[in-house]
Amino acid sequence: MKRYRIPIAIIAVILVIFALPQVTLVPYIAKQLEREIQESLHAREVQVHLRALWGWGLLVGRLPSLEFTAHDAVIDGLEVSSVELRGEEVRFDPRALWQKQEFVYTEPLNVEGKLTVTENALNELLWEVVDPDRLLSLQVVPEGIDLAGTISFWNMGWKVTVRGDLEVHHGTALRYVLKNVALSDASLPPVLLDVLRENYEFIIDFGAFPYTVELRDVFLEERQILITFGGQL
């Protein structure tokens, strides 16, 4: 039995050596990425997951897979409840990481992900940007985004419901556009619709996102919005 102790010990040492980058480098790089992402997105919490078998490729700046989720982030003044991003075949500068604690990409990285924005967050942006008196509010439903409330026009109070939608604008922004207007028991003066369009259509610029991405689709759910994106880092 003793004759097997030395080979087993050698195998154990070899396995420990092989696993060393996995248990040391992977957590270190994940922490650095969490810190950078948290600062750039002003996020409350960031979770980073790296896939690197054994981890030896990290020594030369090769990472097979990168995923992160950021909670309660802020982009262009809009509160984003979650940001999810994933990329494959990441190439980075290991010297910048070891010497400056900076994660620097050396090759373009194709990424895709999604953003989740709640109805409350969208309303906070609306009231801050275009409606500080909070006369109207947004209601997110699968069929559209309604702008509803009562406004004063021609010395009369008009109760309106405006069906709107979010459209991708120039690839990196979302534009809230009015589609049609319903008025309670009255016909809408055309000039009032023009006033609503002039004052309540707004743009959310995701060009302020720390990575260069292109918005792809917007999916409306009950009281929240899902936005998918892709691009290159």
The dihedral through the CA atoms of 193, 194, 195, 200 has a sign that is positive
**Kind of pairing, strands 62-75 and 78-91?**
antiparallel
Mark whether 46 and 103 lie in a shared domain.
Answer: yes
**162 and 176 Cβ atoms separated by less than 8 Å:** no
29, 87: one domain: yes
Residues 151 and 218 in one domain: yes
- Looking up tokens 């002003």 gives 42
* Residue 198 pLDDT: 87
| Within-domain flag for 112 | no
Report yes or no on 134 lying in a domain. yes
Here the tokens at position 159 are 């109760």
Per residue in 105-140, pLDDT (tens digit) is 888 778 899 999 999 999 999 999 999 999 999 999
Q: Do 164 and 196 fall within a single domain?
A: yes
The string of pLDDT tens digits covering residues 152-195 is 888 888 888 888 999 999 989 999 998 876 554 455 677 777 88
Number of domains in the chain: 2
* Segment 85-98 mean pLDDT: 88
- Mention every residue, 6+ apart, whose C-beta is less than 8 A from residue 32: 97, 101, 102, 103
**pLDDT beyond 50 at 90:** yes
From 64, 85, 107, the end of a domain falls on 107
Same domain (yes/no): 63, 129: no
90 with 125, same domain?
A: no
**Distance separating alpha carbons of residues 128 and 122, to the nearest angstrom:** 10
**What is the pLDDT of the chain when averaged over all its residues?**
84
Mean pLDDT of 43-72: 87
Q: Which domain holds residue 191?
A: 119-232
The reply to whether 70 and 151 lie within a common domain is no
Is 123 in the same domain as 228? Answer: yes
Asked if residue 195 and residue 137 are part of one domain, the reply reads yes
Q: 0.85 exceeded by the pTM? A: no
